[in-house]
Amino acid sequence: MRPDPRPRLLVIAFSPLRSDARVLRQVALFAERYAVTTLGYGEAPDGVVEHLRLPDDVVNWHKDRRLLAARRFEAAYRSAPVVVAAEHLLEGRARTFDVVLADDIDTVPLALDLAPPAGVHADLHEYHPRQNEENPRWRFFVAPYYRWLVRTYGTRADSVTTVGEGIAREYRLRFGLRAGVVVNAPHLVDLGPTPVPDGAPLRLVHSGNAQRHRLDVILEAMDLVSRPMTLDLYLMSNDPGYLEELRSRYAGSDRVRLHPPVPPDQLPVTLNAHDVGVYVLPPVSFNHLWALPNKVFDFVQGRLALVVGPSPEMAALVRRHGVGVVTDDFTPAALARALDALTAADVRRFKAASDVAAHELCAERQVQGWSRAVDTLAARVNG
């Protein structure tokens, strides 16, 4: 059997790959032109030639607190259970991949250890040094560790991308790291806007994690709106206690309805049956302030009108494409005012604008930043 002539690409992510929409887009982008191996949790994504599966019982964020407190960051990294497990899977694989695509800063040292002849591309999904800065213990123990990781290893990557302009700017200002931007847009879906009858209740929708700080503003706003409207929530069970609390609270409600989560590739079609995608994220941290999450692009692909808080990246996108409105602030009262002010004609206009914007705000257009970066590296040895 002839050897595979394609360049060999390793994609590393400390996440369940089949539910990580950003990683799945990377695999789909490269699977035809590259022999793709993945390393991560769960079953292999479609299209890969090999999958190195991390043990399900290894917790990806566990680190030795004593080593973090003593600022022994290299030891803390190398002793982390997920790193130990990944090193075992990669044992003897140095220089067997032409290029490594490392997702998030935690995987970059492993990628550099492999010394791929064409280089390492780092895709940083967040601004890691301030990821959970609202937590004082995290700021004291963990933030210095992530600053060390970016300074020591992130700056050694051959190319870097991240999820938004604000985060890219912060990496450049604080670390001299020049990152391109690849937003979290899903693939283009062939849909059209659904009708919005005059006088009918507006059908609001939100999808994502069941997290208190992400949902409380929206839920409190539903208690304040004066016009008829419903809210459907498609939630992942990342906080089972809070999710159960919501189920009990809205068990008999005909206005707020809870649904199981929907796979990423099916989400736009599910959203399409609604009118308005809603997301107000209070800026409790740097990453929350500059968030530009998957769900915003899912709303656009679902051909919805959008109502978002004044987070700079989300607000700029909504205004630039004319797909919805931005609330005055991050409070439930401001969201309720924005929702009450929407007319059926407004929603129809915004949904039509989403239909136009969907052709630009899709993976087919946005992932070219990854193509350029990885192809440029691969050309070093496969030119």
Q: Is residue 188 part of a domain?
A: no
pLDDT of 239 > 90? The answer is no
Are 211 and 147 within one domain? no
The average pLDDT across 213-242 equals 91
In this structure, the answer to whether residues 213 and 173 fall within a common structural domain is: no
Residue 248: Cβ-neighbour burial (10 angstroms; 0-12, 13-18, 19+): exposed
The reported pLDDT for the residue numbered 3 is 80
Structural domain boundaries enclosing 138: 8-182+367-382
Same domain, 96 and 217: no
pLDDT above 80 for 8: yes
Strand 119-124 with 99-103, pairing: parallel
Judgement on whether residues 37 and 177 belong to the same structural domain of the protein: yes
pLDDT value, residue 2: 60
Token digits of residue 381: 């040895």
To the nearest whole number, what is the mean pLDDT of the chain?
Answer: 94
* pTM (two decimals): 0.88
Q: Looking at the predicted structure, is the pLDDT value of residue 382 above 90?
A: no
- Quick one: 310 and 338 in the same domain? yes
> Where are the extended beta strands (E) located within the chain?
8-16, 35-41, 50-54, 99-103, 119-124, 159-162, 180-181, 202-209, 229-236, 256-259, 276-279, 305-308, 324-326
- Could you report how far apart the first and last alpha carbons of the chain are, in Å? 24
| 1 pLDDT higher than 80 | no
Q: What is the pLDDT of residue 240?
A: 87
pLDDT for residue 252: 86
Query: Looking at residue 210, what is its pLDDT?
Result: 83
Q: What pLDDT, on the 0 to 100 scale, is given for residue 383?
A: 57
3-state secondary structure 96-159: CCCEEEEECHHHHHHHHHCCCCCEEEEEECCCHHHCCCCCHHHHHHHHHHHHHHHHHCHHHCCE
Residue 334 is predicted with a pLDDT of 98
Question: Is it the case that residue 180 has pLDDT exceeding 80?
Answer: yes
Q: Determine the average pLDDT of the residues in 300-308.
A: 98
Domain with 40 in it: what CATH number? 3.40.50.2000
Tokens (6 digits) for 43 = 């079953």
- For residues 30-57, give the mean pLDDT: 97
Residues 220 and 176 in one domain: no
Regarding whether 247 and 139 lie in a shared domain, the answer is no
Q: How far is CA 195 from CA 86, 272, 338, in A?
A: 50, 10, 21
> Could you tell me if 306 and 376 lie in one domain?
no
Cα→Cα distances 44→5, 19, 101, 348, 371, Å: 22, 11, 16, 41, 22
- Mark whether 378 and 289 lie in a shared domain: no
**Domain check: are 323 and 378 in the same one?**
no
- Check whether residue 85 and residue 155 sit in a common domain: yes
For residue 301, what are the CA distances in angstroms to 48, 193, 317?
26, 10, 14
For residue 197, being part of any structural domain is answered with no
Q: What angle do CA 321, 323, 327 make, to 5 degrees?
A: 110
pLDDT tens per residue, range 131-173? 888 888 999 889 999 999 999 999 999 999 999 999 999 999 9
- φ/ψ of 184, rounded to 5, equals -85, 55
Residue 195 domain-assigned (yes or no): no
The closest alpha carbon to 278, from 232, 210, 346, 228, belongs to: 232
Number of domains the chain is built from:
2
Residues of the chain with pLDDT > 90, as a percent, come to 86
Q: What is the pLDDT of residues 267-283, one digit of tens each?
A: 999 999 999 999 999 99
